[in-house]
A = this chain, B = another copy of it.
Amino acid sequence: MNGAQALLRTLADAGVTVCFTNPGTSEMHFVAALDAEPRMRAVLTLFEGVATGAADGYARMRGHPAATLLHLGCGLGNGLANLHNARKAHTPVVNIVGDHATHHAALDAPLQSDIATVARNVSGWLHTCTDVHALGAIAASAVAAACHPPGQVATLILPADVSWSEGAVPGVVPPPQPPARVDDARLDAIAAALTRGEPAALLLGGAALGAEPQLDAARCAASCGARLLAETFPARIERGAGLPPLARLAYLAELAQVQLRGVRHLVLVGARAPVSFFAYPGKPGSLVPPGCTVHTLADVGEDAADALARLAARLGAAGNDPPRQSPRRPPRPRGRLSAATLAKAVGHLLPQGAIVVDESQTSGTLLPHFTRGAPRHDVLTLTGGAIGQGLPNAVGAAIACPDRPVLALVGDGAAMYTPQALWTMARERLHVVTVILNNRAYAILQLELRRVGAVGGGERARAQFDLGQPPLDFVQLAHGMGVPAQRVSTAEAFADALERALATPGPHLIEAIVPSTVRGVKKWLLPHVLGLLPHLPDGLARGVQRAVAPP
């Protein structure tokens, strides 16, 4: 048995049965070994960023890693941005990077580069295997490391001669370690802080964003009057009717500060202490309010679900019925297509069990609001800020959950980082409905230019955000990669197209022409305010709701 065969056997034995590939010459023995290991599904991508982003999306939904197959340091470089997103999402990924044969490295051939140095940046575990006899065991360690709570990228660098040499033995992956249990003393301390009558908030992230932990968190929050918030960019969050109201911390620091204003105890549950996404001149980076004590109920690698259940019990709230979103969909929208009517159509039509991949940037800020009463669904977001995650994540999620519809909502700028994902959707006949929210701009940068206080930005600066010259035609791009597509510019047409696409198996793309929501900072802020509604006085909240209501 050669190295590649033992590697594939090890992976498949451990339930790693999907590999997102973009191979080159140094990975040919891995490719050849596919025919001897029918349990492994090799999903070809045309670009490595699609492979790594698909592995991320797959494991976010499956809870178990997929593998990648990348070609040397340059292939790894192409996949780096989505590995960064996976790292920030704590996604388990078995990241396999082929390398030159060990004896070839000294020759400094054209593709020679320092793979380990680049990989270190995104990998919680990293190993270069130079001995075919050890490969099985090392591959098993890679899988175990990837699955180590909360999950991480484990990179195995695989020289070609280790792949092709004989004498390999498959490795055995030990049973996965459960996440660490939080001790009683910590629970006692946090229960005491929460019942002191001071303003408090629970900030949920990671594993705390599943349905049961959310409900327990809502029980805790309700019993002591604490606010309930989710991290800004969750790897995966369950949402919809029956779950508690749960606003995500706003991307804009100014608004996040409003959400957290006056909080004296901030309890982190699978989330990290909130910081501003970017730095701005003269503004603080940490979003923890002054005088607030930060408590960690469960760190990202700890058992957040168990900790919340036990905290609820300690607070005497274990049996309570928590506040829940009632089932409620917005009416089918009419008229002009906009960020608001598009979000309403999604809320109107979202099917039970849908997986929403949200990389819609500025155009998508109303989605949480209008989908809050929809049937139960999952949302995957841009965890690491490296755009180009949406389409690849959708590929992975669709392969992880073939019985669930995937709805990818992607901004036009973001879609152009990894458009090649559409081809894999067509090739694998994945039921992914891609909606491109095309405002023909890097709209978020139009806003950020003002937020950072950059002055002197005239015509030449603004041209850097203009994606309208020439306009991108996503219908033709999709057709070029084998995905049926249509363009819509009214709310009715969008709703009709979305309904049809969701009902028809296979990939579809809808190019939604939407006006930029960034006409002025003030107008753009409104959608964000919706996330704050629970924290606003009633009168003001109603005023805001009226302001953003459809005409």
Contacts and interface: CB of A to CB of B under 8 A. Distances in A.
A82 to B, nearest CB: 9
B460 A42 contact: yes
Given A456-B36, A464-B21, A285 B479 contact: no
B110 A385 contact: yes
Given A118-B80, A470-B481, A480-B477, A32 B416 contact: no
Interface in A440-474: 444-445, 448-449, 451-461, 463-464, 466-467, 469-474
Contact of A482 (B34, B385, B471, B479): B471
B21 A384 contact: no
Given A84-B77, A460-B34, A164 B110 contact: no
A133 interface: no
A503 interface: no
A475 B476 CA distance: 9
A441 to B, nearest CB: 12
The CB with the most chain B CB atoms within 10 A, among A26, A75, A279, A448, is that of A279
B480 A474 contact: yes
Interface in A61-115: 73-75, 77-78, 80-81, 84, 88, 100-101, 103-104, 107-111, 113-114
Contacts of A164: 281, 452-454
Contacts of A455: 32
B481 A24 contact: no
A46 interface: yes
Nearest to A425: B470
Interface stretch (A270-278, A324-332, A397-405, A519-527): A270-278
Copies, count = 2
A31 interface: yes
A44 B110 CA distance: 29
A110 B84 CA distance: 9
Nearest to A4: B454
A131 B164 CA distance: 51
B416 A47 contact: yes
Interface of A: 21, 23-26, 28-29, 31-36, 38, 42, 44, 46-47, 49, 73-75, 77-78, 80-81, 84, 88, 100-101, 103-104, 107-111, 113-114, 117-118, 120-122, 160-161, 164, 233, 272, 275-279, 281, 285-286, 383-386, 388, 413, 416-417, 419-420, 423, 426-427, 444-445, 448-449, 451-461, 463-464, 466-467, 469-477, 479-482
11 contacts: A25-B278, A25-B452, A26-B279, A34-B464, A42-B463, A73-B80, A73-B121, A74-B386, A108-B272, A110-B277, A110-B385
